[in-house]
Amino acid sequence: MTIFNGTSTTDDVLGNIDLSDKRILVTGVSAGLGVETARSLVARGAQVVGAARDLKKADAATEQVRAEAANGGELDLIELNLASLASVRACADALVAEGRPFDLIIANAGVMAPPQGKTTDGFETQFGTNHLGHFVLVNSIASLMAPGSRLVNLASSGHRFADVDLDDPNFERTPYEPFVAYGRSKTANVLFAVEFDRRHKDRGVRATAVHPGGINTELGRHMSAEDLAQLIATIDAQAAAEGKPPFQWKTVPQGAATSVWAGVVAPIEDVAGRYCEDCHVAEVTDDLNSSVSAGVRSYALDAERAKALWAKSEEMVGERF
């Protein structure tokens, strides 16, 4: 089996794979990783449903996706605002009404380090958008996931910033820190995959979480140039202290590679219930002195924590799954 790494691209990973029998949902197809993920799949014949908040923007952004369609590959767009449960449920209802199964769901959309705010439903913006929106969407369409299908949640090395806080998920008693909130939401993405996998593996539906790497996309739009420079300087200082090379951005095709690798290439038993980065399963590391070393914190894979988050999420959205 070919071994891929952090420099591998979507085209390296997918090669000549024929996906003409696959139907795939990708959220966040109006920019960056979502567009590249859709492009690489449609170019190999997949029927991709791309979800986006702004359909006009997504339509313009995915022109290249349609241009590279091959083997009958197609892209259809559907409206989805993850910061509004009404929008999430409308999207899910439309997909369920259509009744066509999915072989893969890539929960790609997200927001990073915005000023403190709330979703339409009153949840802290990042937890509400990155986790709860996808939690409701995926669970609402889980019946469309046929045996053999997979869920890929886009998490982040940012999960190392913070574990979830099940007592104060909306920062009602905790001072708001943008990257602490981001870390909580990304840990939640991993824990959701862990528990979804546990609940559905008996019927042959599995889930995993991936870290795409550092990519300079619209995700960082809430950070000033000074904030970004300071963050990279901190990362470089920590890397130097560990004898590691300085930070380097990945290209968008390199960033999207782990998503498609985990979704259609990696043996499912290798990645199910796990956290992947650079096209391999990450090692568990709890070296709290390092926020830049590769690996995943054990709290993000904790089965009991995953069950507790599921229960808390159901309570917050007012729905049992």
Q: How confident is the model at residue 244 (pLDDT cuts 50, 70, 90)?
A: confident
Is position 22 within any domain?
yes
Length, in residues, of the chain: 321
Strands 280-281 and 275-277: antiparallel
Domain count, the chain: 1
Is position 157 within any domain?
yes
**What pLDDT shows up at residue 237?**
76
**What pLDDT digit, counting tens, does each position of 22-67 carry?**
999 999 999 999 999 999 999 999 999 999 999 999 999 999 999 9
Is position 67 within any domain?
yes
Q: What's the CATH number where 90 sits?
A: 3.40.50.720
C-alpha span between 308 and 211 (Å, rounded): 23
CA quadruple 190, 210, 274, 78: dihedral, nearest 10:
70
Across the chain, what does the average pLDDT equal? 93
**What pLDDT shows up at residue 219?**
56
Cβ–Cβ under 8 Å, residues 159 and 186:
yes
**How many Cα atoms are found within 13 Å in the side-chain-facing hemisphere of 124?**
30
**What pLDDT shows up at residue 220?**
58
Phi, psi of 41 (to 5 degrees): -80, -45
Is position 3 within any domain?
no
Is position 1 within any domain?
no
Query: Directed axis angle between helix 303-317 and helix 178-200, to 10°?
Result: 100
Is position 4 within any domain?
no
Whether 176 is catalytic: no
Is position 100 within any domain?
yes
**What pLDDT digit, counting tens, does each position of 175-229 carry?**
999 999 999 999 999 999 999 999 999 999 999 999 998 776 655 566 667 766 7
Model confidence, pTM:
0.92
Could you say which of 176, 182, 275, 299 is catalytic? 182
Boundaries of domain holding 90: 10-317
Mean pLDDT lowest for which of 23-27, 89-93, 232-236, 304-308?
Answer: 232-236
**What pLDDT shows up at residue 171?**
97
Is position 78 within any domain?
yes
